[in-house]
Each structure stands twice: as structure tokens, then as C-alpha cells.
Amino acid sequence: MKEIHEFRVDRTRYLDDRGAPLGELPPQAGDAGRVLAAYRNMVLARTFDAKAIALQRTGKCGTYPSVLGHETVGTAIGQSLAGTDIFVPYYRDQATHILRGVTLAELLLYWGGDERGSAWKNCPHDLPVSVPIATQCCHAAGVASAVKIRGEARAVVCTLGDGATSKGDFLESINLAGAWHLPLVFVVINNQWAISTPRAIQTGAETIAQKAISAGIPGHIVDGNDYFAAVEALDGAVERARAGKGATVIEAVTYRLGDHTTADDATRYRTAEELKQAWERDGVKRLQNWLHSNGYWNPEKEQVLQADCKATVEQAVQEYLATEAEPPTAMLDYLFDTLPVALQAQREQLADKYRGGEA
Amino acid sequence: MNPANSSPKTHDVTLVEAVNLALHRAMADDERVVLLGEDIATNGGVFRATVGLKDSFGFKRVMDTPLAENLIAGTAIGMATQGLKPVAEFQFLGFIYAGMEQIVSHASRMRNRTRGRLHCPVVFRAPFGGGIHAPEHHSESTEALFAHIPGLRVVIPSSPRRAYGLLLAAIRDPDPVIFLEPKRIYRAVTQRVVDDGEALPLDTCFTLREGEDVTLITWGACVQETLQAAESLSGQGVSCEVIDVATISPLDRETLLCSVAKTGRAVIIHEACRNGGVGAEIAASIAEGAFLDLQAPVVRVTGYDTVMPYYRNEQYYLPQTDDIVRAVEQVIAL
């Protein structure tokens, strides 16, 4: 017997659970401005998240998926992308969306039941939130194909959860990314839980990253709560894509600190002890500790940041709450470029009913 | 196939050749048009619909994909959101179902859910229907599945000229189109097609034969048997109006209702099984919009509500000319 292939998957971590360096840090640690901006974004995303949940609990927002625990890797993704790159999200990417220029009011509109919440003005080429699991992977392959066909130096980053890696969409898309040498980075946010299904029963593979090998592309594991590990991997994979060197899969290992959505109760399927341990590995606190110990941060700055984030979120909430719903006829107005004759009578009927309701 | 030629060439072509002609024309006219599918580039497609296109436009615009229909659908959607105009081929309609989630949950609603920020100008092409002695899963007519989905256009040509003009229209349309090609008549008829780049409208039925006594409403390959039935009935003194619906969704009800108002009778003919078929929507529209003009109940001549039989029995499943003649005789007698 002759061995014709062996594979290797690496795992990167720079900080311990408390934010102390385990060794030499990557060059990204030298860019204090960028690291501080990352920390601010993580805190803003976390502040927004708490408010969105509070709005849902008081009937002012619909079912909402908490981003708690994902702020670190989401921020690393957002920082690695240039405005000309294209982001293809799943549905727990609030930290990235903010850096892409999606406004907090738009995020609230989307989860608050208003289609205008996806009419993003500042990142017109990014795809909208994708709720059907893993389906966005195929779109990302198409987006990256368009970039490659036109010969542009742009990267496409697609996010998905650990549960999504069980679907054909992911496997078919990494396969195409390998076969067509696409400028595409898949970031699997492995938060250990697909609603109530633990990572261990999604796949018999030891790691998710190794699935990339089957597609002929490299797979890396990073500690998704370690900003330096995440941003270094993202910077590298995005630059590799832009340079036409092909696709990458990054498995970012993290933990979903909240419920799956506001309609979920995670205490039904995981222990308080597990959650407590996960909080000890939290990426936001970890980076804050690192900033403290390197002289970039202090309690006063933290206080100012918390107040700023609260004010920013509050302003967005006011904007969201003050936005009147679209007229019901909007449900027909964006279906096609031009409303087909066949639908005109239904639109008139709806408009009449709406006017009747107002009277 | 150079669009710069001063006078457009005419070609005597079959329906599948007309599809090829339209693809050549669309790709030459608009560099955003790209093709993707299984075996479409080097092989020219299993029905040869894409033959010659790779040589004219290269692998960059004519792409052989891995064998994954869900991926083909989703990749086309991703391309479309970034300004390309992909035409995706599915080898048979029976294999498109792996891509249904993409078509239903994304293609049909990308414009709506982004409030027009992104849209999805994709054409999903697939040969469909029975009658060619194909293996199982190769012969169904499931256009109703797509007609039920808001945000999709469903278009079915039934002649080389309409294949050319409707495919050009589908590719130029800024929204997703399911373009179903009746493979039983892929090579049954030859027509002279002027390659002038003229598209046909996407929201209009085609009246193929004018008549006074009964309206025969059909589409796809059944247009052949319906025209034969109309010819045969004219020998018995029955004047049939024959309408090729062609644009299944959104549906041009006005043409259908005007015709039924004139004739007072309607027979709907389709290959698909009856239950929940597009014929049911048309019959309901006639009941809503022309009931008082009717002199007889609307009758449907369709496939049976069962699994499409393997080909030894497929002729008993597919509507035959005699079935249509008998249905017309039945409504005329009332």
C-alpha cells in the first residue's frame, strides 16, 4: 500500500483565557488603533444585543438571534474586509454588519419585521441575512465566481454555523471553491450548538476545518474568542483570496453564550456549569484584559465607552421606533421590477382595503 | 452569429436550435450573460442546446459545473446579485428539485427582501415533459410547482420562433424566470427564425388559431395535439380558438377571458397531472371572470393524478389528439 495523501489542520491561539499572551503575538497586535477599534466594536455589538433582546421581551422587536459570544470573530471578519470586498452572512453576524456600515436601526428594522432592514445603503453589494441554513454558501460561490469572471481583486467572505456544515450547500460550495479556485473565505462560526444539537453529533469528523481538505482547499482552526488569532487568520485568507490564490475555510471555535434566539431556552439542553466555563473564555473580556495590561485601557475609558455605546444604541432604537411601517402595498411593489398586469388588480384590492382600514 | 451584421440572418431551425440561436444572440449582445450547468460547455449540453457557445464565448462565460443542482441554482443567484445575467441549465426538470430551496427561498424573493437593493436576473432552463422514451424522473411536467411561487416567471415556448423570442425576453428580464422547454417537440417542427434579436412579450398568451365555438387553452408540447384536434374538428364544422398560454406565470388572464367570452366554452389541455395543476388556476379564473359567458362547464384534458408511468405506458398518460377532440365534442353538445 502506498500513502498518497496526508492532511494537516492547524489551530491558532495567542491569548490565554484571561488575555495573557501565550507567546509572540502576530503583527496585528502592533496596530493599537485597530485593536482598540476592534474592542469598541465588540462592546457596541454586545450593547446592541442586550437592547435588542430587551426590545423583544417588551414586544417592540420580533424573534431575535443573540450575537452574545460571537463579537470577537465577527469583529475580526469585519476588520479584514475592505469596502470593495463582499460579505455573505448567515444570521448571527451583527458585529460584522456594523463594521460593514449596516446601521443599528437597519438591523432593528430587519428583526423588527420590516424589509427595509435589508436595503443597506452603505454596503450595497453585501448579501442580506440568510435564514435558511447554509444556503448562503452557494450564493457566496456565485458572488466569488462573478468577481473571478470579471478579474477583480476582491475577496468574498461567507459565514455559517457549525450545524450548517452538515448540509450539502456547504460541501457543494467548498467543492466548487476548490474546483474553480474562487476568491472565497468560508468562516465556520463553531459555537458548539445548533439550537440544541451539540457539535459532537453534527459530524464524526474530528474537526470541521478538515472538511476543506476534501475540497482541495486549506482549512485552519482558530480560537474564535482570541481576537489576534481570528484577525490574523482572516487577514491572511482575505488577502490570499484578493490575490487570486484561492479559497480558505476557517473554523472559528467559540461559544454561543445566549439562547439560539429569543424563542429558545438553552437551559433545556445545556448545563449551567458549561455556560459558566464558556464565560471564562469570553473574547471581549479577554481583549479588554490584554488592553489593560498593555496600558491601552483603564476603568475610566471603559466607563466612557459603555456610555457611548448605550447612547449610540439608544439613538438607533429611537430611529427604529419612529420609522413608520411601509404601506401594505409595498408587499407587491418589490416583487418584480415592474408590477405585472396580472397582479395589478390584487394591488388595487389591497390598497382599497388599506384605505378602508384607515377610515 | 455576429450581431453587427447589417441584415439579420434567417435560419430554418428546430425548437432546440432556436434556444441555441437565442443563447448565441444574448451572449453576443450582452457580456453580462453567462451560462452554467452540467455538460454544457465542451459537450454542448445533453440535448445540444448549448453547442458552439463555449467556442464562441470561452469557458469563462460557458461553465461546466460540478454535478450538484442545488449548487447550480445557488451559484447562479450569487452571480446575479453581482450584476451578471446567468442562464443555468438543468439537464431535466426532474433534477431541479435539489435546487428548489434556492429558487423558492432566494431567487424569487431577493428583490423583495432587499427592497430592490439586489435583484436576481437568472434564467433557470430545463427540458420537461414526456414522450421521448426516457428513464424515470425524466418525463414529468411540474410547472405548477413554480407557478405557485410569487416572484418567479414561468415561461414555456411551444415553437422555434417562440423559443427564440421568449428566451431572449427571459434573459433580458430583470427578474428570475423558469424557462421550461418541451423536449418532446425539441426537434419535431422546423420554423424559419429571423435572428434579429427581437424578444417576445413575457406576459401575453399567443392566439395560434382564431375560432368561434370553443377556446382550447394549452401550452408546451400539447400545442401540437391541440392544433391537430382543432384541424380535425374544423372538418366537423366546429370552430376552435387555440391559445398557447406560453407565459404560465404571471398569467395573462385577459386574453383567456376575452376568448372565452367570445366562444362561451373552454377546454384546457396540459400534460401535467390534474390536481392543483395550472389548468385549475385557469379554470378558476374563467369561473371568476367569465362565468356568465359560459355555455358549458370548463373541461380539462390532462395527465392522470398518478406517478408518470415508464415509457411503455406513457402514451396512455399523455393527452392525445383524440382525447381533445372528444372533450370538445362533449362541451359542444351541452
Whether B119 contacts chain A with CB within 8 A: yes
Residues A243-254: tens digit of each pLDDT? 999 999 999 999
Residues of A within 8 A of B86 (CB-CB) are 142
Nearest CA in chain B to A149: B60
Instruction: Give one DSSP letter per residue of B9-72, joined into a string.
Output: -EEEE-HHHHHHHHHHHHHHH-TTEEEEETT-SSS--TTSTTTTHHHHH-TTTEEEPPS-HHHH
Binary contact (A176, B61; C-beta < 8 A) = no
Give one DSSP letter per residue of B253-300, joined into a string.
HHHHHHHHHHHS-EEEEEEEESTT-HHHHHHHHHHHHHGGG-SS--EE
Nearest CA in chain A to B202: A340
How many CA atoms, within 13 angstroms, populate the side-chain half-sphere of residue A343?
20
Distant-in-sequence, close-in-space partners of A110: CB < 8 Å, separation ≥ 6 = A117, A118, A129
The predicted complex's ipTM stands at: 0.96
Cell of A351: 390598497
Q: What is the pLDDT of residue A219?
A: 97
Largest distance between two CA atoms of chain B: 60
Torsions phi, psi for A284 (to 5 deg) = -70, -50
Q: Do B112 and A128 touch (CB under 8 A)?
A: no
| Of the partner residues B71, B105, B114, the one whose CB lies closest to the CB of residue A176 | B71
CB of B75 closer than 8 Å to CB of A185: no
- Give the containing element (helix H, strand E) for A62: none
Of A283, A186, A277, residue with least CA distance to A237 = A186
**For residue B14, what pLDDT is reported?**
98
Class of domain A10-325: alpha beta
Q: Tell me the shortest Cα–Cα distance from B35 to chain A, in angstroms.
A: 12
Q: Is the pLDDT of residue A67 over 50?
A: yes
Which of A135, A91, A137, A132 has its CA nearest to residue A110?
Answer: A91
Q: What is the pTM of this model?
A: 0.96
Q: Do B74 and A169 touch (CB under 8 A)?
A: yes
Q: At A351, which amino acid appears?
A: A
Say if residues B240 and B328 touch (Cβ distance below 8 Å).
Answer: yes
B66 contacts A342? CB cut-off 8 A: no
Chains A & B: contacts with CB separation below 8 Å: 139
Chain B residues with beta carbon closer than 8 angstroms to that of A217 = none
Q: Domain extents for chain A?
A: 10-325, 327-359
Task: State the pLDDT at residue A357.
Answer: 52
Chain A residues in contact with B73 (beta carbon < 8 A) = 138
- Given CB atoms, is B116 within the 8 Å cutoff of chain A? yes
Residue with cell 432546440: B16
In the prediction, which pLDDT does B214 show?
A: 98
Q: Terminal CA-to-CA distance of chain B, rounded, Å? A: 53
Give the residue numbers of A marked as catalytic: 256, 260, 269
DSSP secondary structure string for all residues of A90-142: -S--HHHHHHHT--HHHHHHHHTT-GGGG--SS-TTSPPP--STTHHHHHHHH
Min distance B170 CA to chain A CA atoms (Å) = 13
CB contact under 8 A, A342 and B252: yes
Which cell goes with B206? Answer: 399567443
- Residue A353 distance to chain B (closest CA, Å): 20
Residues of chain B with CATH 3.40.50.920: 206-333
- CB contact under 8 Å between B81 and A142, yes or no, is yes
Task: Evaluate whether A77 touches A159 at the Cβ level (below 8 Å).
Answer: yes
Which tens digits make up the pLDDT trace of A98-146? 999 999 999 999 999 999 999 999 999 999 999 999 999 999 999 999 9
Cβ of B281: how many Cβ atoms within 10 Å? 18
**Contact criterion met (CB < 8 Å) for A139 and B74:** yes
Do A247 and A174 touch, CB atoms closer than 8 A?
A: yes
Start-end of CATH 3.40.50.970 domains in chain B: 10-194
Question: By CA distance, what is A340's nearest residue in B?
Answer: B250
Q: What is the CATH number of domain B206-333?
A: 3.40.50.920
- Chain A touched by B159 (CB under 8 Å): no
A141 vs B contacts (CB less than 8 Å):
71, 74-75, 78
Cβ within 8 Å, pair B71-A138: yes
Interface of B with A in 220-279 (CB under 8 A): 249-254
* Local confidence band at A359 (pLDDT 50, 70, 90 cut-offs): very low
Q: What is d(CA A228, CA A283) in angstroms, rounded to the nearest whole number?
A: 10
State pLDDT tens for residues A282-319: 999 999 999 999 999 999 999 999 999 999 999 999 99
Whether B68 has its CB under 8 Å from any CB of chain A: the answer is yes
Percent of chain A with pLDDT over 70: 99
Q: Do B115 and A128 touch (CB under 8 A)?
A: no
Regarding the domain delimited by B10-194, which CATH topology (the fold level of the hierarchy) does it fall under?
Answer: Rossmann fold (3.40.50)
Asked if the Cβ–Cβ distance from B113 to A118 is below 8 Å, we say: yes
- Tens digit of pLDDT at every position of chain B (334 positions): 455 556 889 999 999 999 999 999 999 999 999 999 999 999 999 999 999 999 999 999 999 999 999 999 999 999 999 999 999 999 999 999 999 999 999 999 999 999 999 999 999 999 999 999 999 999 999 999 999 999 999 999 999 999 999 999 999 999 999 999 999 999 999 999 999 999 999 999 999 999 999 999 999 999 999 999 999 999 999 999 999 999 999 999 999 999 999 999 999 999 999 999 999 999 999 999 999 999 999 999 999 999 999 999 999 999 999 999 999 999 999 7
Q: What's the residue count for chain A?
A: 359
B153: helix, strand or coil = strand
Summarize pLDDT for A193-203 with one digit per residue, the tens: 999 999 999 99
Average of per-residue pLDDT values in chain A: 97
CB atoms within 10 A of CB B332: 18
Give contacts of A169 with chain B, Cβ < 8 Å: 70-71, 74
Chain B residues 174-193 with CB within 8 Å of chain A: 174-175
